[in-house]
Structure 1
Amino acid sequence: MKSAVVLLAGLFAFTAYYVYLPLPSTVSEPWRLMLLDASFRAAQQSCNLAHYLGLGHHLRILNFIIGTFDKLNLQYVEQEQVKITDTQFDGVEVRVYEPAKAEENLRRGVVYIHGGGWALSSTRGSFYNNLCSVMAKSLDAVVVSIEYRLVPDFHFPVQFNDVLHAARHFMQPEILAQYSVDPGRVAISGDSAGGNLAAAVCQEMSQDQNETGRFKLQALVYPVLQAFDFNTPSYQQNEFTPVLPRFVMVKFWIDYFNGNREFAHSLVVNNHTSLDVGQASSFRDRVDWTSLITPRLRKTYRPVTPTTGRVEILQAIPSLLNVRAAPLLAEKQVLRLQPKTYILTCEIDVLRDDGIMYAKRLEDAGVEITLDHIEDCFHGCMIFTIWPTHFSAGIRTRDRYIKWLHENL
């Protein structure tokens, strides 16, 4: 009996140690966030072990776990008053959400791209199914959610091309007419890696004079926009915070490009963009956070710019500086062409400064910009609105995002 008590106490202590993370005092529902983060870490570590044992690629296994959870969770998804159709746009799988209520006037349209590090989640999963259903109902809009192909089976630029082809297809006059969508009231949007794809595709389509349609708005939710500097103040400040620690984000980038994970530690210290790497010099001012973000957010953090680094990283993974993968690196004349933009950023997020820098560069280029920075929220919070990952922060960010779309689209 005594041994059982000691074992139970030890197990409890280990669980508490594993779950507990120091979080800023501003975080709402901190223990719920710790439990979410611990669950995700445990799943990732289990998948890494399975990968090491040769049981399958860790990302495929992790996506299977997420998919299994989604199947159990779909009963909680809001789908009332929304017609959901799975189809293909130019060979790309999409899920279309249409308000079931008949409407004589043309509706708004939203092209939505889900997040997940270009490797995880799905339009059909409970989190994004719920989000897009709520958007369609709240905005009385047709929402097209794009099921782009995922890492590790496909790598950049496949994801970019999937979104580009599907978006171009939807923006054709005859397709918009088929769904009763007003050509002048269509937005492109996405969160995290989906925000990356939305921004990149919006840039691409804005430059093509042969495009039949133009997006009225873009709305980016905690987007990942650059792989140039992994030591921005938000990367330094939130190095170990949930749900996206810095090292995990670096590995997502490497996997996106099908690169060698042995480069991960070098990327963390910016050895790929050191001063002796000539390819990086022309992009440096576009990611200069010392001028692009405010002193309040810079705090006492200092730039990490090594004098010497590893030139071979960019030789092996040149896409790290590809504008289609890293929209923050775009030239000013491209930024001038972008539509009115909403960017939501969270304080507790390594990607906070990506969004803030992009907002400042767009504003400097003359684009009308709304930067919605939320002090007590964390990366990914907007999709965590249904049981058992229900966060008040998720409801709040989702409502602010939808409110902006409602008022501007």
Structure 2
Amino acid sequence: MCLLDRERESSEEIHHFKMKLLSVIILLLAIAAAYYIYIPLPSTICEPWKLMVLDATFRAVVKMGDVAHALGLSHSVHVINSAIISFESLVPITHKEIRIEDILFDGIRVRVYHPPGQEGKLRRAVMFIHGELGSYDSLCRQMSADLDAVVVTVDYRMAPEVHFPVQYEECVQAAEYFLRPEVLAQFSVDPERVAIGTDNSTSVKFKLQVLIYPVLQALDFNTASYQQNQDVPILYRRLMARFWLEYLGADPELVNPIMMNNHTALDQIQLSQNLAKLNWTNLLPKQLKKHYKPVFPSTGSPNILKDVPGLLDARAAPLLAEDEVLRKAPRAYVMTGEHDVLRDDGMMYARRLELAGVSVTNEHYQDGFHGCVTFAFWPCHFSVGIRVVQNYIMWLDKYL
């Protein structure tokens, strides 16, 4: 009996040790996960803990992309895009009554969303430009249903396969094709009621333009919003600089120089006119300037602008457009988020449009962050995303 008792006690001790070890491992993993997930966020940002978890996932995807790229397995952009598409596939399909058609507009792949009923009736239309066929599917379905409108998304080719100006040219090509009288008639669209919704802009004439936290310039990566939100998810300042270089087909090693504004140093005399167009000390509301100051080094890297001419091209950076071009722009809706590095891009563009005599609605969300519209439909939806979508569609319904 004593031997059995000792064996039993020994077995229990081993069991307790294993349980303690398992508890320690779980605790360490929990601490590691919490350490990875937690980042300090502004108190006014929407649902911060939910955003931390989302951001941790996105950061992991970006790191996976970088590793795959370094090993020569896949381009980092492909990894990021594949992950986003996979996440979007988890979103339940809504408004199943909307008919979807994948066709070509002058050789460019597009997806057309048709609302049901009343065939032959002239409808409103929204051309939504973002890239990746099927991306923003829920938003396009909701726009089509709520506005009783034809919605067209453009599947223009993207980096790394092609670089600027291919993306711009394909969007313009598709838009010009859609606005042909015979094409509008084919889709029963009223030619006087067509809007463009995008995170950029084109030169084609529409009744309205709708820009959702748009990226509009790459000459100043130290605007007030870039400084304030450089470490706020999900679009970090460094990541935005990387995306710009990829879009323009530039050397990725330039990321640090352009983040320091070496390409727009004070010794770059040819930039004086362009910098005046995005002088956030003049174009931004006073309450947004806070304690931030412009960052333009006295001497810089002149070869950057020579090697990457797209940085000065208004087709890539509409904020650099001349006043006479802006005066021809349609009524605009510009959505900005307080906690977005691109906040000031949108606000400066809205102000330049106003100064050019264009009617502008700048809807600013104090709890908004970049990408919040995407998360208006995900299972882990954010309330600010839902509000943005509702207000955006209400504005379109009023003016389109």
- TM-score with structure 2 setting the length: 0.93
Q: CA deviation at 1:104?
A: 5.2
Aligned pairs, number: 382
Which residue of the other structure, out of 271, 274, 295, is the alignment partner of 1:283? 274
* In 2, Cα distance between equivalents of 1:392 and 1:264: 34
Of residues 27-36 and 220-229 in structure 1, the stretch that sits farther from structure 2 once superposed is 27-36
1:41 paired with 2:59, answer: yes
| Pairing 1:172–2:180 present | yes
Matched, 1:114 2:124: no
SS in 2 for 1:403: helix
Within 5 Å, give how 1:61-72 maps onto structure 2.
61-71=79-89
Give the deviation of 1:228 after TM superposition: 0.8
User: Would the aligned equivalents of 2:333 and 2:361 in 1 still touch at CA under 8 Å?
Assistant: yes
Q: Counterpart in 2 of 1:160?
A: 168
- Between 388-397 and 154-163, report the one with greater CA deviation: 388-397
CA contact (8 A) 1:77 1:386 kept: no
Over aligned residues, Cα RMSD in angstroms?
1.3
Candidates 350, 371, 395, aligned match of 1:404: 395
Give SS of 2:376's match: coil
Cα shift readout 1:274-297 (whole Å, capped 9, x = no counterpart):
011233222011010000001100
How far, CA to CA, are the matches of 2:251 and 2:120 in structure 1? 54
SS for the counterpart of 2:249 is coil
| 1:70 Cα offset (Å) | 3.3
User: Quick one: distance in 1 between partners of 2:130 and 2:293?
Assistant: 33
Partner of 1:211 in structure 2? Answer: none
2:130 is equivalent to residue 124 of structure 1: no
Would the aligned equivalents of 1:86 and 1:96 in 2 still touch at CA under 8 Å?
yes
Task: Tell me the alpha carbon deviations over residues 114-147 of structure 1, each in whole angstroms, 9 at most, x when there is no partner.
Answer: 26xxxxxx2314xx11110000000010000111
CA distance in 2 between partners of 1:79 and 1:132 (Å): 10
Shift of 1:103: 4.9
- Partner letter of residue 353 of structure 2? L
The residue that corresponds to 1:58 in the other structure is: 76
Aligned mate of 1:12, from 16, 30, 43: 30
Displacement of 1:102 after TM fit? 1.6
Between 162-171 and 22-31, the greater mean CA deviation after superposition: 22-31
Amino acid at match of 1:114: H
Q: Distance in 2 between matches of 1:342 and 1:28?
A: 22
Query: Unpaired runs of 5+ in structure 2?
Result: 1-17
2:211 counterpart (220, 240, 248)? 220
Query: Do residues 236 (structure 1) and 246 (structure 2) align?
Result: no
> What is the CA distance between 1:3 and its match in structure 2?
3.2
**Alignment partners' CA distance in 2, 1:370 and 1:386:** 24
Select 1:385's aligned residue among 376, 385, 390: 376
* 1:2-401 equivalent positions in 2, closer than 5 A: 2-71=20-89, 73=90, 76-103=92-119, 105-114=121-130, 122-125=132-135, 128-190=136-198, 195-196=199-200, 199=201, 201=202, 204-205=203-204, 214-401=205-392
Q: Which amino acid aligns with 2:85?
A: G
* Aligned position for 2:10: none
- Which moved further from structure 2: 382-391 or 219-228? 382-391
